[in-house]
Amino acid sequence: MIRLLIVDDHPAMRAGLTAVLRAEPGIVPLGAASSEDDLPAMLERTSPDVVLLDYHLPGADGLKLCRRMKREQPAPAVLLYSAYADSAMVVPAILAGADGLMNKSAPAPELFDALRAVARGDRVLPPVPRELLEHAGTRIEAEDQPILAMMIDGTSPAEVADTLRIDQRDVARRIDGMIERLRVEIAAVQA
């Protein structure tokens, strides 16, 4: 049984997702949050296994919300959900700690499969094309490139800190900086 929280600012999307997911065996939508302000109380009240998180929320940022949720113990699996989900978003999604990235246009069976996969602990992310990774490498500081490489390989921030023998807070700050630099690039790709 997968306990699911939906986070989306569009009422029709929340209602549609809730109805479709409620009909799927083994997935239990526990509720829906419409904003960053609603999210903490909903997380505390529902303790979901998986959060289906809209990438674009008014006044909020799905990447930052994902990072914040992944710092919680226990952290839910997070499937970022966006109309713009493509390979250009995968590097920032990985840095944010997302377990998956899915386009809102995907058929319902693909969404069900992705939710089940991230609930099992699998990553559901598009492959990172080499040229995209190289481009991301030019957008970040040279000292952050080892962190990026380890995160792409699935290394946790705590393991990155241990491997590089640097403070976990420094790793977190550097990851936040990389996400910020790469987010600008996403906006340019989408324009």
- List, for residues 41-82, the tens digit of each pLDDT value: 999 999 999 999 998 887 778 888 999 999 888 899 999 998
Are 19 and 54 contained in the same domain? yes
**Residue 125 domain-assigned (yes or no):** no
pLDDT band at 140 (very low <50, low <70, confident <90, very high): very high
Q: Let me know whether 183 and 161 are in one domain.
A: yes
3-class DSSP state of 102 = strand
What is the per-residue pLDDT across 88-133, written as a single tens digit (0 to 9) for each?
788 999 999 999 999 999 999 999 999 999 999 999 998 888 888 8
Per-residue pLDDT at 182: 86
In this structure, the answer to whether residues 143 and 113 fall within a common structural domain is no
Question: 10 and 55 share a domain?
Answer: yes
pLDDT at 171 over 90: yes
Q: Are 107 and 51 in the same domain?
A: yes
Tally of domains within the chain: 2
* Spatial separation of the C-alpha atoms in residues 63 and 181, rounded to whole Å: 12
Question: What pLDDT is recorded for position 59?
Answer: 78
Note whether 7 and 89 are same-domain residues: yes
| Helix, strand, coil content of the chain in percent (nearest 5) | 55, 15, 30
Helix axes 145-152, 87-96, angle to 10 degrees: 100
Q: What is the pTM of this model?
A: 0.89
Taking Cα atoms as reference points, which of 113, 32, 58, 114 lies closest to residue 81? Answer: 114
- 3-class DSSP state for residue 129? coil
Same domain for 115 and 135, yes or no, is: no
Q: Look at residue 55 in the predicted model and tell me its pLDDT.
A: 87
Mark whether 55 and 74 lie in a shared domain.
Answer: yes
pLDDT of residue 187: 47
With a CB cutoff of 8 Å and minimum separation 6, the contacts of 159 are: 150
Domain annotation covers residue 112:
yes
The predicted pLDDT at position 144 comes to 95
CB-based contact 56:89 (threshold 8 Å)? no
End position of a domain, from candidates 60, 92, 120: 120
Longest dimension (CA), the chain: 48
Q: What is the pLDDT of residues 11-31, one digit of tens each?
A: 999 999 999 999 999 999 999
- For residue 28, being part of any structural domain is answered with yes
Instruction: Share the mean pLDDT of the chain.
Output: 90
Question: Which residue from 119, 120, 61, 117 is spatially nearest to 93, judged by alpha carbons?
Answer: 61
* 3-state secondary structure (DSSP) of residue 30: strand
Domain that holds residue 24: 2-120
State whether 25 and 115 are in the same domain. Answer: yes
| Shared domain check, 50 and 32 | yes
Same domain, 69 and 145: no
Tell whether 6 and 94 lie within a shared domain.
yes
Q: What is the dihedral of CA 90, 92, 95, 101, to 10 degrees?
A: -40
